[in-house]
Amino acid sequence: SLPACAVLDAAEVAKPFRDELKLKVSSMIEKPLLVGFLGNDDPAARKYAKWTAKSCAEVGIRFELREVPRVELEDRIIDANADSSVHGIMVYYPCFGPSIDQYLQNVVAKEKDVEGLNFQFRYNMYHNIRFLDKEEKLKSTLPCTPLAVVKVLEHVAVYNPKLPFGNRLHGKHICVINRSEVVGRPLAAMLANDGAKVWSVDVDNVLIFSRGVGLKHRNHKVSESTQKLDEILPLCDVVISGVPSPSYKISTASLKEGVVAINFSSAENFEASVVERASFYIGSVGKVTVAMLERNLVRSVEYQLEQ
Ligand code: NAD
């Protein structure tokens, strides 16, 4: 008999997006230029930059890594904002720490912010505002890793295409273990805005993100929960984990039969036996993240051309 669990490869999820991007970029006379600023000596950032360069080259996007002392980052970002040959800007964080890094995220011009970290994009995302304009032509940019997880869930049809757009997770129970500002919290908000009930778990507490009974709210509300992880997991159709610790393991025994299990941490958060319980399992989403970064870039070029 066939194995009950499909182990997914992020490359398979990314492929249709990359194919579409290749086609679009091939018709552009000036190939889009993405500039990545590296202001720290984090080996993980360097590795991610290498992958980004390789993936961009395959799609036809130009990628330039600019290594700068972190104290010069602000000026160099401002230069890139003003340089019309630069179409997208990304910065490898952390550089200074949360508050200065957040300031730098807002120094990047909105039109070139392919990571979706600008205040307006974040505000729109939390408030379920999907467009920048009244005509609903210009989409508000979403952060790449949360968006990559959404694409994985669309790929395995957890998003129900028979439901209206924006409500396609109605009735789904999802647990997100990680509440960082770059991934876990925006992800919980996006999934809840799409109709799911989301338990957002971090090391200190549990919050519930939900649009309420009958999706009565137009964007998610947050409430405190006293439930423990081992009570939450058996309820969840999807479990998404991003705990950056190799010793952290989610017990397979507490997962719901047929769960969709997604690990985005660099460490493996699920036990090897997860495949005995899950219907789909994916061990990393990095390749989908890069595809979303490229998609945000190409979209911003299209928007810049239209103006
Ligand atoms: P972070 O350190 O900012 O956040 C870690 C989160 O995990 C926090 O919310 C923390 O409370 C939670 N956590 C830690 N221990 C926990 C525990 N025992 N129980 C419940 N929650 C716990 O990290 P981050 O930037 O969100 O990155 C997390 C991981 O995801 C890293 O391994 C990183 O490399 C990876 N990552 C992957 C991608 C990608 O694949 N595209 C993108 C970003 C980050």
Residue 10: burial class (beta carbons within 10 Å; 0-12, 13-18, 19+): buried
Kindly provide the residue ranges of all beta strands, DSSP E only, lying in the chain, ordered along the sequence.
Answer: 6-8, 33-38, 62-67, 88-92, 173-177, 197-201, 206-210, 221-225, 238-241, 260-263, 280-282
Rounded to 5°, angle at Cα 48 from 187 and 8: 60
307 CA to centre of ligand 1 in angstroms: 38
The pLDDT value given to residue 246: 96
Q: Does domain 157-278 have CATH number 3.30.230.10?
A: no
Q: Which residue has the tokens 């720290």?
A: 40
Residue 305, ligand 1, Cβ within 6 A: no
Cα 113 to ligand 1 centroid, rounded to whole Å: 22
Distance from the alpha carbon of residue 132 to the mean position of ligand 1, in angstroms: 30
Residue 45 Cβ inside 6 Å of ligand 1? The answer reads: no
- CB of 244 closer than 6 A to ligand 1? yes
Residue 173's beta-bridge partner residues?
197
pLDDT of residue 268: 98
269 Cα–ligand 1 center, Å: 10
DSSP category for residue 165: T
Q: Crossing angle of helices 10-26/286-306, nearest 10°?
A: 20
The neighbour count for residue 246, using CB atoms within 10 Å, is: 11
Task: Decide: 104 in ligand 1 pocket, CB within 6 A.
Answer: no
What are the residue numbers of the active site?
144
Query: What is the number of the ligand 1 atom nearest to the C-alpha of 179?
Result: 9
How many A from CA of 177 to the centre of ligand 1? 8
How far apart CA 238 and CA 227 sit, in angstroms, is 17
| DSSP code string of 65-123 | EEE--GGGHHHHHHHHHH-TT--EEEEES-SS-HHHHHHHHHHS-GGGBTT--SHHHHH
Q: What is the pLDDT of residue 307?
A: 65
Query: Could you tell me if 107 and 267 are in contact, meaning their C-beta atoms sit under 8 angstroms apart?
Result: no
Does residue 248 have its Cβ closer than 6 Å to ligand 1? Answer: yes
Ligand 1 pocket, mutate which of 42, 102, 243 (most atoms under 8 A from CB): 243
Instruction: Determine the Cα–Cα distance for residues 108 and 115; give it in Å rounded to an integer.
Output: 10
| Probe target for ligand 1 pocket from 265, 285, 287, 293, with the most ligand atoms within 8 Å of CB | 265
- Write the ipTM: 0.97
Q: Which residue has the tokens 């200074």?
A: 96
Domains 13-114+289-300 and 157-278 fall in the same CATH topology: yes
Digitized pLDDT (tens) for each residue of the chain, 307 residues in all: 778 999 999 999 999 999 999 999 999 999 999 999 999 998 989 999 999 999 999 999 999 999 999 999 999 999 999 999 999 999 999 999 999 999 999 999 999 999 999 999 999 999 999 999 999 999 999 999 999 999 999 999 999 999 999 999 999 999 999 999 999 999 999 999 999 999 999 999 999 999 999 999 999 999 999 999 999 999 999 999 999 999 999 999 999 999 999 999 999 999 999 999 999 999 999 999 999 999 999 999 998 777 6
Domain ranges of the chain: 13-114+289-300, 157-278
Q: Is the CB of 177 under 6 A from ligand 1?
A: yes
- SS3 of 178, please? coil
What secondary structure does DSSP assign to 138-158, as a single string? SBPP--HHHHHHHHHHHHTT-
Task: For domain 13-114+289-300, give the CATH number.
Answer: 3.40.50.10860
Ligand 1 atom nearest 288 alpha carbon:
41
Residue from 55, 187, 202 whose mutation best tests the ligand 1 pocket (most atoms within 8 A of CB): 202
Report how far residue 80's alpha carbon sits from residue 304's, in angstroms, rounded to the nearest whole number. Answer: 15
Residue nearest to atom 1 of ligand 1 (CA): 180
State the distance from the centre of ligand 1 to the C-alpha of 285, rounded, in angstroms.
13
